Homo-oligomer: A and B are copies of this chain.
Amino acid sequence: MKIAICGAGTVGQGVTQILHDNHALITARTGGTIEVTVVASRSVPTDQVFKGVAYTADIHSVCRRDDVDVVVELIGGTTDAKVLIEAALGAGKSVVTANKALIAEYGDALFALAAKHEVQLRYEAAVAGSIPIIKVIQESLAGNQIGWLAGIINGTANFILTEMAATGPTRTFDEVLQEAQTLGYAEADPTFDVEGIDAAHKLTILSAIAFDQPLRLDRVEIEGISSLDPVDFKFARELGFKIKHLGVARCQAGQLEMSVHPSFVPMTAILAQIDGVQNAVLVCGDAAGEILCAGAGAGAGPTGSAVVSDLIDLVEGAAPGGGLGARAAALKPLPVRPPAEVASSYYLRISVEDQPGVMSAVTSILARRTISLDKILQEDIAPNRSFIVLVTDPIQHGVIAEAINELQEMSSVIAPVQSIRVFR
């Protein structure tokens, strides 16, 4: 099988390195060979691994070559990459991509195009780097009705949250973000990662395959991590939680919920053990129960490994699936539960002036809406000021939002109320 690698950045290097280093191994395992015909990249690749591989600056030319069976799209973005993939599929070439944004936004049309030309569009590397979560849901859990899935699917955000949770001198979001940028874990413009957009792309893909529906990025509720305060990490620890940025999709009573948000996760839960740039996805099937897959979410080797696994499936002649969960014709958009009706427990942090009756006023606002409390604590911030910290029992989002609005209007509440969902 002859391939073109488009994009000579980190992942392109990783893929080329693996195919070079493990060539004999892959041949022994598959009975086929994977040969890199050409590397296509706007600028001449300088990495040693590309030495001896033919190079072209004309990325789109690979689609016209007879000596290219499969196009590996690693240029990123949703403009040139889209044109490239459309041309490749149109020319009867299968495509392997790591491009989560492109799949989440344009996947439905691209899978249809692949089906029309009887080729494959594979994307294991698009979600959670090394973790074979696409294959696990699509193949290993194919006999299961999926009830829910929850994942730590953005390494940058998880690194920042892990650092902010570390004991010792507390650091603000901005300080830790700067560290992440210095270490190369965060981009110069970190918006996609810290505001949850990247995670939403991945959740969109996972939800489509888990629940046999088209890609529905516009129905994902998105909340990032930039509003988290060091003091929330302190209270999380005291209350027995870690704060994680989760993508959660759940189908309950025929209605779907999809959201990306910071979450209090019980310290004893397995997802709370996933720290640093690690990723993990927990999936619950009706037969299998809960399955966790964890590993490196990014990097040349891990993401490269996922790309190579798709190439190996192609060289072994894997049956073309429907692209997403079900065959295309059977994909059905589930009704989405109105966000106000989604229920979960909440952590609330309320900054108050110490006045007689303030605690009673706070608790009565909650009681009036039958919001019951699991935990409550009060802690002084400064003379005459304190935090009231609560963990509620599960309650609909619309109800808690109203309660927060009313709390916010109290004269003794002196700063915005912080609210964070609790996972299970």
Contact = CB atoms under 8 A, between A and B. Distances in A.
A139 B313 CA distance: 7
Interface in A278-304: 280, 285-296, 299, 301-302, 304
A130 interface: yes
A287 B308 contact: yes
Contacts of A289: 130, 295-296, 299, 301-302
Interface stretch (A315-323, A341-349, A382-390): A315-323
A144 interface: yes
Q: How many copies does the complex hold?
A: 2
16 contacts: A18-B143, A18-B287, A22-B144, A28-B327, A29-B327, A29-B330, A132-B139, A139-B309, A139-B312, A139-B313, A143-B304, A143-B309, A285-B305, A287-B305, A289-B295, A289-B296
Contact of A140 (B22, B135, B286): B135
Nearest to A27: B330
Q: In the complex, which range does the number of interface residues on chain A fall in?
A: 35 or more
A325 B139 CA distance: 19
B141 A305 contact: yes
A25 interface: yes
Given A312-B139, A319-B317, A145 B292 contact: no
A399 interface: no
A188 interface: no
B273 A143 contact: no
Contacts of A319: 316-319
A291 B293 contact: yes
A31 interface: yes
A26 interface: yes
Given A28-B327, A132-B136, A142-B312, 6 more contacts: A26-B142, A130-B285, A135-B136, A135-B139, A287-B301, A292-B292
A212 B270 contact: no
Nearest to A135: B140
Contacts of A280: 292
A353 to B, nearest CB: 41
